[in-house]
Amino acid sequence: MGKITLTTIAEELVARNGVSRELADNFVHAIVETIEKGLREDGLVKIKGLGTFKLMEVSDRGSVDVNTGERITIKGYRKVSFTPDSAMKEFVNRPFAHFEPTELNEGYPAEEVRLEDVGGEDGVNETVDVAGLPESPVSSDCQSDKTDDEELKSSEENAATIGGIAVSEVDEVLEVESKAAVITGTEEVLVPIVNEESVEVEENEVPVAEEPVVTEEAVGIIEEAVVTEGEVVVAEETIEPKVSVSEEEKPSKRGGCGWIIVVLLIALTCGVYYFITIDQDALSDYEAKIEEYNDMMVNPNLEEELGEEWDEEPQNAPTPKMTPGVIKSQKQQAGVDSSEVSTVQSEQQNKVMPTDQESGSEKYCTVKLTELLEAKELKDITPADTTDYIIDGTLVTHELKSGETIILLARKYYGDKRLWPYIVKYNWMKDYNNVAVGQMINIPALKDKSH
Amino acid sequence: MNNKEFINELSKQTNQSVGATTKLVNDTIRILEEHFQQNDVVAFSGFGSFEVKKKMERISVNPTTGKRYLIPPKLALSFKQSNVLKDKFNAE
């Protein structure tokens, strides 16, 4: 552990090689001189067994004077960098050579484990489990509720297929929406006052009423969605709550009190509808909303069915909620309205409501649901249409300006904001909501995979 | 300047044959290695200093797979140029 100089090395060279002292001295100094000369000539000297010396430019950089606090510029300079070659690297590292990089287990952080321990009997806790583990695969989440998982998957598939259905007539949507409202109304025979309200709402402008709620929900989830007011993005989000809420319902099938909570939620839903009906601002979003609802329909035939027997629907809809063993066919039939109702519920839960009656459990649900939605979002980063395109290099590098979002960039560069996940993926973004003005975003060039 | 050019240049400067120079260079490197092994700081006056530094273990994440890895500690050879050398290259 000492400081060795050229002289020492020369001495050792004499002892080792048997050359004269003078030559050794000359030689060692010649090495240094030659390296310098080589660096001056072409900025690079490679010595086998030792490494590479390189002349590097260090550019100017700004800094702050520690004493005065003034901004100063540290001027750029040239520096000699050294990279040991692999033989030398290995030799130096020999004492630690037996270490190897090890993969760390995806250990659950302490809180999540705690939540999981609690979960199992209570439905609400189960949803927490799913929400708490956004990155781990779905299968590992629920050991206890495999069936729930399957249902979730199927509903996700549903949602995916639904997305593809083209926009149909507005009238149909209105019909279904009003039906949904009526359904909620009839379900609330227990709460007659709210029932009246819901009927009123239905008579007035059900669609408008529904729509702002969703947009507000969107605000809760992603500000970007509101900024762009894009149907597609909003649609994506609504699909998510739909799925997650179906999850959230399942627990209620088990627990008896869950049913009561559901009814109360519906009551609250109607109450909020009533208030929101006054809000006319959201009319601009109306078109988008309609399309969204069209997308949400499982099939057009169902609408007709619903139109004929919407009186019966209410009985259909709640039954799957009650029975623990899920009658799948029935559920699929009632899929549209139950999902709609549940979407509405989720919307309700996302907002902290002023008319909160049993605020305790309500808020609990609210928090849970937003967590759940976030988890879903994260999963959804992987685009649904990955198969369609492959990333083919960088198109341009874009500097984010104020008011721009990733989704806006996707619209700008691809003409289709649905392609935003590619940008997120290409830039390794963890949180696509969290972008800064001035951030450089690489826009990937997309190539159609089929071609 | 690659290794061959370096040796040629060196042999010219010291009036030695290329073979002898190669041997001397290799011996010098062996000597350096021995010192590195003993954790010595090898300083070439007017040029810079070599030092073996210990890098602590760290956790790194593979960005594609999201897997976390524990990178073990390691010893790495580092070089710091002397101020004399810095001035030489920045004078122009």
Q: Do residue A38 and residue B1 have CB atoms under 8 angstroms apart?
A: yes
pLDDT for A141 equals 40
CA distance A96 to B53: 12
Domain-wise residue ranges, chain B: 1-38, 47-92
Q: How many CB pairs under 8 A join A and B?
A: 162
Residue A371: the pLDDT is 58
Q: Does position B22 have pLDDT exceeding 80, yes or no?
A: yes
What pLDDT is recorded for position A373? Answer: 56
pLDDT at A273: 82
CB contact under 8 A, A46 and B3: yes
pLDDT average, residue stretch B17-41: 87
Q: What is the predicted pLDDT for the residue at A96?
A: 82
What does the H/E/C string look like for chain A?
A: CCEECHHHHHHHHHHHHCCCHHHHHHHHHHHHHHHHHHHHHHCEEEECCCEEEEEEEECCEEEECCCCCCEEEECCEEEEEEEECHHHHHHHCHHHCCCCCEECCCCCCHHHHHHHHHCCCCHHHHHHHHHHCCCCCHHHHCCCCHHHHHHHHHHHHHHHHHHHCCCCCHHHHHHHHHHHHHHHHHHHHHCHHHHHHHHHHHHHHHHHHHHHHHHHHHHHHCHHHHHHCCHHHHHHHHHHHHHHHHHHHHHHHHCHHHHHHHHHHHHHHHHHHHHHCCCCHHHHHHHHHHHHHHHHCCCHHHHHHHHHCCCCHHHHCHHHHHCCCCCHHHHHHCHHHHHHHHHHHHHHHHCCCCCCCCHHHHHHHHHHHHHHHHHHHHHHCCCCCHHHEEEEEEEEEEECCCCCCHHHHHHHHHCCHHHHHHHHHHCCCCCCCCCCCCCEEEEEEEEECCC
Contact A9 B85 (CB under 8 A): no
Per CB-CB distance under 8 Å, the chain A contacts of B89 are 39-40, 55, 77-80
Interface of B with A in 33-52 (CB under 8 A): 33, 35-48, 50, 52
Contact B6 A100 (CB under 8 A): no
Backbone angles phi, psi at A18, to 5 degrees: 80, 15
Residue A370: per-residue pLDDT: 58
CB contact under 8 A, B69 and A103: yes
pTM: 0.37
**CA-based nearest distance A436→chain B, Å:** 21
Return the pLDDT at A201.
41
Strand partners, A448: A389
Residue B57's pLDDT band (cuts 50, 70, 90): confident
Rounding to the nearest 10 degrees, give the CA dihedral for residues A211, A212, A218, A223.
140
| DSSP label of B46 | T
**pLDDT value of position A401:** 82
**ipTM of this predicted structure:** 0.89
Class of domain A6-96: few secondary structures
* Domain residue ranges of chain A, discontinuous segments joined by +: 6-96, 131-380, 386-448
B92 touching A (Cβ < 8 Å) = no
CB contact under 8 A, B78 and A82: yes
For the segment(s) B47-92, the CATH number from 3.40.50.720, 2.40.50.140, 4.10.520.10, 3.40.50.1370 is 4.10.520.10
Q: Check whether B78 has a pLDDT greater than 50.
A: yes
- Of the CATH numbers 1.10.760.10, 3.30.310.10, 2.40.128.130, 3.10.350.10, which one belongs to the domain with range A386-448? 3.10.350.10
pLDDT score recorded for residue A285: 59
Q: Does B3 touch chain A (CB under 8 A)?
A: yes
Name the residue among A1, A47, A82 with its Cβ closest to that of B6.
A47
Measured between CB atoms, does B13 come within 8 Å of chain A? yes
Question: Given a cut of 60, is residue B15 above it in pLDDT?
Answer: yes
| pLDDT tens track, chain A, 451 positions | 678 888 888 888 888 888 888 888 888 888 888 888 888 888 888 888 888 988 888 888 888 888 888 888 888 888 888 999 888 888 888 888 888 888 877 654 444 444 444 433 443 434 444 443 444 343 334 344 444 444 444 444 444 444 444 344 444 444 444 444 444 444 444 444 444 444 444 444 444 444 444 444 444 444 443 344 444 444 444 444 444 444 444 444 455 678 888 888 888 888 888 777 755 555 555 656 666 666 665 444 444 444 444 444 444 444 444 444 444 444 444 444 444 444 444 444 444 444 444 444 454 555 555 555 555 554 445 444 555 677 777 788 888 888 888 888 888 888 777 788 888 888 877 777 778 888 888 888 877 766 5
**Mutant choice from B33, B58, B70, B77 vs A, greatest count of A C-beta within 10 A:** B77
**Residue among A34, A44, A77 minimizing CB distance to B9:** A34
Q: How many angstroms away from the CA of B79 is the closest CA of chain A?
A: 6
> Torsion angle, CA of A53/A59/A62/A67, rounded to 10 degrees?
40
Chain A contact set for B68 (CB, 8 A): 103-104, 106
Q: Do B5 and A16 touch (CB under 8 A)?
A: no
